[in-house]
């Protein structure tokens, strides 16, 4: 998406400014909305590299998969003995924490990053989970979803936590969760990965 937005902007500048386009590109730079896509892409690459290094010999990984019929994508799909992992990589700065903002005797746990309520990030995984469940046709396989914060800060005694059924964690803890023993043998892992790869193709890249 970053590449598409960046190239579209450059094409528009070329058309509008002609011989002066190089100067305009140098002076203006990409808008913040486009840079945000680049930042997210870098976070995905960092996490992919970490996962390959830590669990690559015990899992099958599918990166940047498209959900048919929508513009949404899944950053990482990992199939291991422990089951299927749907992973959304986030490259946010600041401290990640779970806060109970409920009043009186009512519990209302929320996800906060850098002091801001980011609970909405959990809801963004719902479509991804549904796409995976459809792909495996409700087979009896454990499906776990995780928000993995690549560049964020955590308190000294912090632990991963669940928010709305989604694991909120960081790369090292995520790798350990994926590597836990489970019911899928190597043949089953390959069969499940093949089914997911067929149903959720790679995102199309321009260029």
- Digit-coded pLDDT (tens) for 17-62: 565 555 444 445 545 443 443 444 677 888 999 999 999 889 999 9
pLDDT at 36: 41
pLDDT at 69: 87
Is 27 inside any structural domain? Answer: no
pLDDT at 204: 62
**Residue 126, domain extent:** 57-199
Low-confidence ranges of the chain (pLDDT < 70): 1-14, 16-41, 138, 204-207
Is 20 inside any structural domain? Answer: no
Entry pTM: 0.79
Structural domains in the chain (count): 1
pLDDT at 37: 38
Is 29 inside any structural domain? Answer: no
Is 12 inside any structural domain? Answer: no
Distance in angstroms (rounded) separating the CA atoms of residues 193 and 80:
9
Is 21 inside any structural domain? Answer: no
Is 49 inside any structural domain? Answer: no
pLDDT at 133: 95
pLDDT at 77: 96
Is 31 inside any structural domain? Answer: no
pLDDT at 99: 95
């Amino acid at each position: 998406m970053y590449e598409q937005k960046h190239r579209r902007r450059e094409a528009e500048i070329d058309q509008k400014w002609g011989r002066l386009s190089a100067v305009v590109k140098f002076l203006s730079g990409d808008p913040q909305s486009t840079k945000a896509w680049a930042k997210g892409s870098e976070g995905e690459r960092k996490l992919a590299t970490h996962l390959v290094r830590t669990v690559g010999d015990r899992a099958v990984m599918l990166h940047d998969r498209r959900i048919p019929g929508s513009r949404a994508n899944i950053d990482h799909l990992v199939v291991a003995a422990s089951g299927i992992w749907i992973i959304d990589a986030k490259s946010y700065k600041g401290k990640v924490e779970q806060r109970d903002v409920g009043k009186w005797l009512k519990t209302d746990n929320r996800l906060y990053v850098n002091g801001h309520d980011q609970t909405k990030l959990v809801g963004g995984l719902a479509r991804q989970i549904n796409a995976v469940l459809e792909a495996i046709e409700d087979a009896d396989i454990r499906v776990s979803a995780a928000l993995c914060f690549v560049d964020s800060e955590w308190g000294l005694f912090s632990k991963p936590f669940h928010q709305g059924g989604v694991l909120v964690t960081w790369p090292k803890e995520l790798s350990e969760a994926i590597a836990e023993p489970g019911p899928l043998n190597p043949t089953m892992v390959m069969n499940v990965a093949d089914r997911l790869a067929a149903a959720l193709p790679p995102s199309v890249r321009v260029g």
